[in-house]
Amino acid sequence: MSSLLSRQMAAHREDTSVGELLSAVTSDVQTLFRQELELARTEVKQEATKAGKAAGMYGGAGFAGYMVLLFLSLAAVLGLSNVMDGGWAALIVTAVWAVVGAVLYQKGRARMRTVEPKPEQTVETLKENAQWARHPIR
């Protein structure tokens, strides 16, 4: 039985033309490529979902931090109001937050000035690739 199967497979191989073999290989490569793309899409979707959940948690942590600062500021106003008028206590706490905000603004502005929106290295690489494509021997 096994020799009959071997002879049938050999006869089938002999009947198959090179064109048919190339067509089969091309079809298999296309199928493999589509499957790899689908796998990549699935992985990216899963990672994006995880990143979205993490971003939501960061947002929640930021809001919680804001609430902590708000209530600490309120506690500072109430604590200072024991030794001075409540209006002056609120003004002092507000002034402290104004200074903190101004310092953070200046630091952010200085850092933003160092940002280059144009990807210099990528542009240079693309220029080199274009030059090589025009003159590949050099």
CA 97 – CA 61 distance, rounded (Å): 20
Mean pLDDT over residues 30-45, rounded? 86
118: left (phi over 0), alpha (psi -120 to 50) or beta: beta
Do 78 and 66 touch, CB atoms closer than 8 A? Answer: no
Identify whether residues 90 and 53 lie together within a single domain: no
Identify whether residues 53 and 90 lie together within a single domain: no
- pLDDT, position 6: 58
Structure tokens at 122: 């990528």
Condensed to tens digits (0 to 9), the pLDDT of residues 9-24 reads: 555 555 677 788 888 8
Condensed to tens digits (0 to 9), the pLDDT of residues 56-69 reads: 999 999 999 999 99
Identify whether residues 2 and 39 lie together within a single domain: yes
**pTM here?**
0.53
- pLDDT, position 24: 83
Residue 27 has pLDDT above 80, yes or no: yes
Domain that holds residue 110: 81-138
Residue 83 has pLDDT above 90, yes or no: yes
Identify whether residues 41 and 94 lie together within a single domain: no
Domain final residue, candidates 14, 42, 57 = 57
